[in-house]
Every structure is written in structure tokens, then in C-alpha cells.
Amino acid sequence: MSTDYEITEAATAPLLAEKTVINGKWEILGHIATGGKGEVYLANQVNLERKVALKIMSKAFVESLHGDKEELKSELDRFRREVMVMARLRHPNVIQVFDFDQVQIDGQSLDYIAMEYVPGSTLKLTMPEEGFGDDEERIKEWVRKFFLPVLDGVEAIHAAGIIHRDLKPANVLISDGVPKIADFGLAGGDFTDDVTKSHHILGTVPYMPEEQFLGLAMADGRADIYALGKILYAAVIGKLNKENSQPFKTAALPAPQTPFMKRLDGIIQQATARDRNERTPSVKDLRESLRGLIGDGVQAAVTKATRRTWVVAAVVVVLLLGVGLWYHFSNDEPLSRNELQVLSGEVAELESRGGGKATLFPTARPLPESIIGKDGATLRLVPGQAQNHGSTSAAVAPFYLGETLVTNHQFVGFLRSVPGVKVQDGTVMGNGEIWLILGEVTEGYEPILYQNGAFVLPPTFALNPVVRVTALGAQAYARHYGLTLPTKGHWNHAEEMGGAVTTAPSAKPQATITAPDDPAAANRLLPVIMSPPNALGVRGLGKNVREWVRVPGQGDSTEFHVVGGMVKDQGPESHLRRQPWEAFFDVGFRTALTSP
């Protein structure tokens, strides 16, 4: 399994059903994700009509620890400590907690946290997988816009006597361009004793200093400095792997040439010094070094922009795809077996110095029922199908299909993150290709705007499926995140495996974009969460809007078709071959991973 995807177990149904009201305060709107230890839901605070992320301890996980009272107490204490830590913090670059309580479910008390809901992506998605390299201007821009605000948040955390101990790109959420530090499950400091009794590695190896591996209690604020240095290093060098990053070692740029890159290399090396006594002593010192590198007056501009964004009202939409929210239950970014093997020598050395035992290699298991792609979206496993003897139907290997259609929110995030996107006369272009047509989809419904050189997304439409996107735009989005468009055969197989579809029609051919005859057509563009899941957990397949699929031809040739939809009087087998630069008011797309 590629390490670009976060594995989640989805073997059991969500614990809380939609419309369940917890303790008279929190109405469950939908299930976002399930991890090994907890479940995350979108909920509405009844008295304030405020959307929050509600995280509850998994009943199955609690029951699995009943035979180990010490470990159960440790996990419960860790969960409660996360609340205590977050409740002490009030800063625009730190996720805010609203409530902590217990609820009785089937006679068992389960803890839950209600916290700020962030429908954005993560810092990881602002960092190119190949890194910024020696592009000094892009490095400066990224440091100003994202990294300095992260330092502000970490400095506030340290000022409160707290050590995060699991800083990494996936644990920094991006809310309307503002970084927010999350996941305080491993936090410690002068306010509480360490509660960890487990012998497993706690933290994320690529961002973890040696002293934290030897013992969580040994990590002080300089452990967070090390993690910050590795984040900065990863932004420049690209995704960390065995070729470019040795665990617990000092990070260094390969042969920096210019004065700027040499100074940046020195900053990274000092922040990631293996000996913590030689490490950059504080966040303030790290910030001052970076300000001196990228130019004076930076911090004032960043602070002003941060304050301005902080007062913007929170977006009241749900992103069921889980973009940015899987941080609630994920402790580690997945590593490949090759990446894990490179740790063996370091582990042996550190264990000999008192680090204890740690299990690095996962046990073999079947394909998980869901994975999370690099765009943060959930993809569901579609079982394969063997070719029956004498049948003309081809065998189908297992593959993954997007749980929902790609939303306006996700596509705007893509457009904002890709360099070289141009807008001319309402046409969005990238790499010389037409990707999206702006303007009203139907009367009064204009989901994506382009104002003052920036893409703007009205919150009301954030969770609707993106439409008027071309096959080229859909394919560019998928490729950017290491995914693909589903083939027509995969789409049909998923529809068949998921159960019968009551309405799976298709629209009449259109040469240009025109509004539909039905004035209520905009109402058909339902938020993706409104489509109930089929037997595979895939939502809206063959419903809501039509979808782009590809039909591979000979060699490198590919046709693009549209399938599904809700237009009346069309048969379930109807589909249309369309040109890849065409766009339609009722055609969106979802992504797939066809070679798991």
C-alpha cells in the first residue's frame, strides 16, 4: 500500500447515528471518520447553532483494553489530558476546545471532546511532495504565509507550559489560509504528569528527536524545535524518506549553493541538532533567524493578516470527506516497509542505550475498507470480481473509489495550491488546458468566484459537488494528489456492487454551457453529505450529478464519458462521450485509486 494514503479501519458501523443528541447539547450531523482509538463526527451545538468536530472514544477500542487496566487508564488519561491542554490555550493558530464530558452508551461511559471545526486542508498539502528545492521566492512565501504563524502558535503553547511532542505537517490544519495546530494527545509539560505506559513508539519518527524515542518524559520544548526544523527541511527537500532523512539525525540540505540557501541550511541544521543542548533554544530564536533570512517587516505583516483572518466568521459547512480532520485519531504518518527498515540500525542502537522495545513492522492484513488520499478525501474499497468460467466479463481487481464527489471547497483548494493557474474571461486554465468555467451555474447559484486575483468560495456552497469542471480539470486534480479518474468499467462495477440505483439517468448532449430548463436544478446539487451511502459506503453514485469517467483506448489514447445523474427520462445505461475541454452545469467527478 502506498504511503501516500492514511489507513483507516471501517469494519464497524459508526457508534452515533445522525440526529442523535448528546447530553442535550450536541446534535450529530454526520460521521466524518473512524480511527483505531476514536470516532469523529460533525455536530451542531444546539443552543448556539455552531458546527463543531466531536471526537469520542471508540467503544470497540475501550472494550479491547478491558483486560489491561493499566493501559486502559493510560489511554483514558491521555484522552482527558488532550482536553485539559487545549482548554488552556486561546490563540488563533491553535485549535480551540469547547466542551469535554461523558455520555452513556449501552451502559458504558465514553468520553468525548467538542472542538473547533476546521473544514480546510493541512500544512502537508501546502508543501510540494518534491519540495520547493532552491526556489527562494516560493520558500519565502511559504515561510511568511504558513510557517511563521505556526511558530506563533507553538510559542503560545510553550508559554502556557505545554510541549506538543507530535508536531508534523498533518497535525497543522489550514482554516481559510490560517494554520491551526491540532492533536494534543501526546502533549506534556509542567501541568501534568506523563500518563504514557505503552512500550510503543509515541510520536512520528521522521519528526521525532532522539530523546523522545528514549522516553516521552525526556522531551522538553527543544523536541518541538526539532520537529519544526524537520518540517522546514521537508518543505525544501520534499517528502521525507530513507534517501533524504535519517531518523533522529541532524538534517542538512544537499550542497546549498546560494547565500540564501546556505543560511537556510544553517537554520535547519541548528534546529535539528541531534544533541538538544546544541539545538536552537527557543521558538523566538528560530523565528528571528527566519525573519532575518527572508527580510525585515515580515512578522508585522503576518500578524496583521492573521488577526484579520481570525475575526472572519467560522465556515458553517461539513466536509464529510474528512479533509484535515483525520488528525483527531491518527498518531503517525504511515511509513513504507522500506522506510521502516532503515530505522532498524537506529532502533537497535537506541534500545541498547535504554530505549526499551518497540514494534516497527505492522502485521500483515487485508486491504482496509477505506483509505484517505493525499487530498484528505476518503476512498472506499470496491471488492474485485473474478472472471467466471465461460463468462465474457473481464475480471476486476480490487480498487478504491472516492466516497463522495469532489466538492467546490476541495477544488478551490487545489486551484489555490497549483502554480501557474490563470483566469481569463471566466475560464480557469492550467498547463494551457481549460479546467473550469466560472459564472452562474443556474440563476442565483454561482459557487466559485474570482475576485481581486483570488478564488473565493461562498461558505454556503462549499460542500456542493464542483460542476462545470472539464475532464482535463478533473484529471489534473486527480493527478495532483496521486489519484486518477475512475474508468467507466470501474464506475459501473462500483455501482453494481453497491446496490441498485433508483435513478441513474443522463442529460441530453450539450455543445455549450446552458442553464437547465428546471429552475430548481440548483437544488439538485446537494451537499455531498446529503447523499446516503450505498452498501460500499460510497455516497451519491449515480445520483445528484453526472460524473466524468475515462475509457482507456489503445496506447495512450483516452476517451472521456459522463455517467449517472438525476435528469429525468433517461435509462440507467445511458452515457455520453464528451470532449475533454467541455464543461456542463450538472457534471462533476470523484477520484479513484485503481492499483492499491
Task: From residue 96, give the alpha-carbon distance in Å to each of 112, 154, 196, 321, 551.
Answer: 15, 14, 24, 21, 46
Cell 472514544 -> residue: 57
At 240, give phi and psi (nearest 5°): -75, 130
Gap between the Cα atoms of 570 and 47, Å rounded: 45
CA–CA distance from 368 to each of 45, 60, 98, 162, 497 (Å)? 33, 17, 33, 35, 17
Element housing 549 (H / E)? strand 546-552
Which stretch of DSSP H or E encloses residue 38?
strand 38-45
**Rounded to an integer, what distance in angstroms lies between the CA atom of residue 485 and that of residue 15?**
32
Query: φ, ψ for residue 148 (rounded to 5)?
Result: -60, -40
Output the nine-digit C-alpha cell for 42: 460533525
- As a three-state string, the secondary structure of 314-359 is CCCCCCCCCCCCHHHCCCCCCCCHHHHHCCHHHHHHHHHHHHCCCC
Residue 210 CB-half CA count within 13 A: 19
- Strand pairing class (162-163; 108-116): unpaired
What does DSSP assign to residue 271?
H
| Sequence-distant contacts of 454-459: CB under 8 A, at least 24 apart | 454/416, 455/412, 455/415, 455/416, 457/408, 457/409, 457/412, 459/315, 459/316, 459/317
What is the 3-state secondary structure of 408-441? Answer: HHHHHHHHHHCCCCEEECCEEEECCEEEEECCCC
- Residue 33 burial class via C-beta count within 10 angstroms: exposed 0-12, middle 13-18, buried 19 and up: buried
- Please answer whether residues 411 and 588 qualify as being in contact, where contact means their C-beta atoms are separated by less than 8 angstroms: no
Biggest CA pair distance of the chain: 74
Alpha carbons 579 and 596: distance in angstroms, whole number: 29
Q: Which three cell numbers stand for residue 191?
A: 501541568
Q: Could you list the active site residues?
A: 166
